[in-house]
Amino acid sequence: MRVCLINPPRIHPKTWGLPGVFQPIDLAYVAAVLENQGHEVKILDAAAEGWRTVRNLDDERYIEGLSCEEIAARLESWPPNVVGINVPFSGWSHVAFMVASIAKSISKDVLVVMDGVHPSARPAECLKNPNVDFVVIGEPEITWTELTYTLEHSPDQLDAINGLGFKHKNGKIIINRERPLIKNLDDLPFPARHLLPMSLYFEAVRENPLRGEVDKPWTVMYTSRGCPYGCIFCSAHLVRGRVWRGRSPDNVIEEIRLLVGSYKIKQIDFCDDNMALDQVRMEKICDKIIENRLDIEWFTPNGLRADTLNERLLKKMADAGCKRIYIAPESGNQRVVNQVMKKNLDLKQVEKIVAFSKKLGIKVACFFVIGVIGETIKDIEDTIKFAYRLRKLGADKFYFSFAMPLYGTELYEQAVKMGYLKDDFSDEALSFVKPLIETPEFTAEELQKLCEKANMVNFAITREKVLKALCSPKKAFKTILWRLRI
């Protein structure tokens, strides 16, 4: 069977600057298990392969990637039996449906499968689209292997595949039982990066460094899956589950050695939801990176919980090549963190970890969410004050986002039940950077102003660095030019 897995063009808010490239490792995992099953597989990373083509979608958004005509031409040149489309975010679902329509226009016989966060949260709604035949709900690898095997050998037994949604011959939508989580992640093959345009990713970050810091041959890795915590705004559990499972340190190091040897990787984004949840395992991974003399720099862009870190572990992380950690206090008000967001994180521990990291030379970025139901304007002001406190302790990047009512989250259910969703809420509205929740405590306009005020903490950092450079004549000119570039 010929399977083409597609990463659709990407929607990007203009306020975020020019779009970058991201490696669709979830697709590469699916590709690896399908190749092991004997299928002929290709990955079409439409977002990355057209990364130089950035078009205005409207006044507020870009669309980055191959055009509809280019996607159609690629499918015509290599006609697949099955097209898989990954939809990691509901705000991009309309682009995914566009790709599904293109696939069906090439051949009505091609079967279209969607996987990712959006199909996992809205399986029935996805299947209502006439161009979608199947949805994979939750972790995709085993469901994909069972689906392709069943399509080849016993297509009348689709209802036996856990984690699958499909349309019956009579048009009825069928959602099968939930798929159990994969217990041993070491059983999975490494992602099929040989099917990804790796050299293109390297070229892109040289010209437009990812987050301003990833500019060498790089890749994305997962060393674990799952998050046992219950933050009301997070949708990661829809695919990776609430049970944390870690790959063994030996398995992780084996993949890193492959990356360094075969792809000359110099930088790695560890995109786990909770990489350091098991501190002993995390220490062993760091020890093995050092023992194997793996010359890599690495980052944790999805964030780490501050209460899974300590000075001993941070020291090992620094020695093993960690250049920046991302932590997520989410709010600067302890009541909001514990009772409203249900994150249950001690903000004093956040302060300690920022100070420890500064001491060890690890840069720190911080994530905050504003506008959750139950939060007040005063609470948001507390968050802004807390960000400035963390800046004094050593953090140097701050990201403030509006609380997004993502499907499948407790926040979405709250907003629907209490009538707090804005009238213009939709799948596509999620791709804009704007508040979609209003409560008696705040309006969308108030949240916009508070977010602008909060982001001034980043400008204060820039000002301080420029002033510091001006005091050092040798560095002044270079630093100012670099700042003007960004």
Which candidate, 245, 318, 259, 327, places its Cα nearest to that of 283?
Answer: 318
pLDDT at 142 over 70: yes
Q: Three-class SS string for the chain?
A: CEEEEEECCEEEEHHHCCCCCCCCHHHHHHHHHHHHCCCEEEEEEHHHHCCCCEEECCCCEEEECCCHHHHHHHHHHCCCCEEEEECCCHHHHHHHHHHHHHHHHHCCCCEEEEECHHHHHCHHHHHCCCCCCEEECCCCHHHHHHHHHHHHHCHHHHHHCCCEEEECCCCCEEECCCCCCCCCHHHCCCCCHHHCCHHHHHHHHHHCCECCCECCCEEEECCEECCCCCCCCCCCHHHHCCCCEECCHHHHHHHHHHHHHHHCCCEEEECCCCCCCCHHHHHHHHHHHHHCCCCCEEEEEEEECHHHCCHHHHHHHHHCCEEEEEEEEECCCHHHHHHHCCCCCCHHHHHHHHHHHHHHCCEEEEEEEECCCCCCHHHHHHHHHHHHHHHHHCCCEEEEEECCCCCCCHHHHHHHHHCCECCCCCCHHHHCCCCCECECCECHHHHHHHHHHHHHHHHHHHHHHHHHHHCCHHHHHHHHHHHHHC
C-alpha torsion 226→139→367→349, nearest 10: 0
User: Which backbone phi and psi does 381 adopt, to 5 degrees?
Assistant: -60, -35
**Mean pLDDT for the chain?**
93
User: Which backbone phi and psi does 56 adopt, to 5 degrees?
Assistant: -75, 120
What's the pLDDT score for residue 486? Answer: 36
What's the pLDDT score for residue 475? Answer: 44
What's the pLDDT score for residue 16? Answer: 82
**pLDDT tens-digit series, residues 96-141:** 999 999 999 999 999 999 999 999 999 999 999 999 999 999 999 9
pLDDT at 344 over 70: yes
- The structure tokens listed for 347 are 């903000």
> Packing angle between helix 93-106 and helix 68-77, nearest 10 degrees?
40
What's the pLDDT score for residue 12? Answer: 87
Do 2-175 and 209-458 come out as alike in CATH topology?
Answer: no
C-beta separation of 340 from 372 below 8 A: yes
Burial code (b: 16+ CB inside 10 Å, e: under 16) for 107-135 equals eeebbbbbbbbbbbbbbebbbebebbbbb
**pLDDT tens-digit series, residues 219-236:** 999 999 999 999 999 999
Query: Counting every residue, how long is the chain?
Result: 486
- The structure tokens listed for 77 are 């040149």
Residues whose CB is less than 8 angstroms from the CB of residue 87 and which lie 6 or more positions away in sequence, other chains included: 8, 93, 96, 114, 115, 116, 117, 118, 119, 126
User: In CATH, what number does 209-458 get?
Assistant: 3.20.20.70
What's the pLDDT score for residue 484? Answer: 39
What is the C-alpha separation between 198 and 201, in angstroms, rounded? Answer: 5
| Confidence bin at 15 (pLDDT 50/70/90) | confident
Which candidate, 173, 9, 184, places its Cα nearest to that of 102?
Answer: 9
What's the first-to-final CA gap in the chain, in angstroms?
47
Interval 152-162 mean pLDDT: 95
C-beta separation of 319 from 370 below 8 A: no
- The structure tokens listed for 417 are 């039940």
What's the pLDDT score for residue 468? Answer: 59
Per-domain boundaries in the chain:
2-175, 209-458
More confident residue, 104 or 459: 104
| Confidence bin at 465 (pLDDT 50/70/90) | low
C-alpha distances (whole Å) from 119 to each of 115, 126, 132, 162 are 6, 6, 11, 15
CA atoms within 13 A on the CB side of 281: 18
Q: 157, exposed or middle or buried, with CB in 10 Å at 0-12, 13-18, 19+?
A: exposed
User: Which backbone phi and psi does 63 adopt, to 5 degrees?
Assistant: -125, 130
As beta bridge partners, residue 84 has 5, 113
Interval 276-284 mean pLDDT: 97
pLDDT at 477 over 80: no
Cα angle 235, 185, 291; round to 5:
110
What's the pLDDT score for residue 126? Answer: 97
**pLDDT tens-digit series, residues 369-382:** 999 999 999 999 99
- The pTM assigned to this predicted structure is 0.92
- The structure tokens listed for 111 are 């079967």
Q: Which CATH architecture has domain 2-175?
A: 3-Layer(aba) Sandwich (3.40)
pLDDT at 13 over 60: yes
Interval 427-434 mean pLDDT: 90
What's the pLDDT score for residue 366? Answer: 97
Place of tokens 């190091």: 253
